Amino acid sequence: MPKYLVRGSYTAEGLQGVLRDGGSGRLAAVEHVVTSCGGSLEAMYFAYGDDDFYCILDFPDHLTMAAVAMTVKATGAVRSSAVPLLTADEVDTAARRSVDFAPPGA
């Protein structure tokens, strides 16, 4: 299953929900949406600074990740980005692929 690092920040409205439900409430909500789509939550950490949380998620495919991201962002309570994560074996496979590329100015 593809793995993602999701980082995000809450809007003022979203942060009101965190204050009301606590971190465990948000953890339960994230776990629910992820598992309801056939994925799994490996870890969720809260932070302060530019980002309010970090999650490591597995989803069956990229379209599922996109559907979840769009649904969550549409609420207006969260701003987030997802970074696809690759294993060492996946990087090895990618490194062996031939790519015909000419750099700019070449």
pLDDT of residue 26: 96
Contacts of 81-85 with CB under 8 Å at 24 or more apart are 81/6, 81/7, 81/8, 82/4, 82/5, 82/6, 83/4, 83/5, 83/6, 83/7, 84/2, 84/3, 84/4, 85/3, 85/4, 85/5, 85/56
For tokens 């294993």, the residue is 87
Residue for token pair 């204050």: 19
Domain boundaries, given as residue ranges, for the chain: 3-93
Distance, CA of 28 to CA of 41 (rounded, Å)? 10
pLDDT of residue 106: 74
Under CATH, which architecture does the 3-93 domain have? 2-Layer Sandwich (3.30)
Q: Is the pTM of this model over 0.85?
A: yes
pLDDT values of the chain reduced to their tens digit, one per residue, 106 residues: 999 999 999 999 999 999 999 999 999 999 999 999 999 999 999 999 999 999 999 999 999 999 999 999 999 999 999 999 999 999 999 999 999 999 998 7
Return the pLDDT at 8: 97
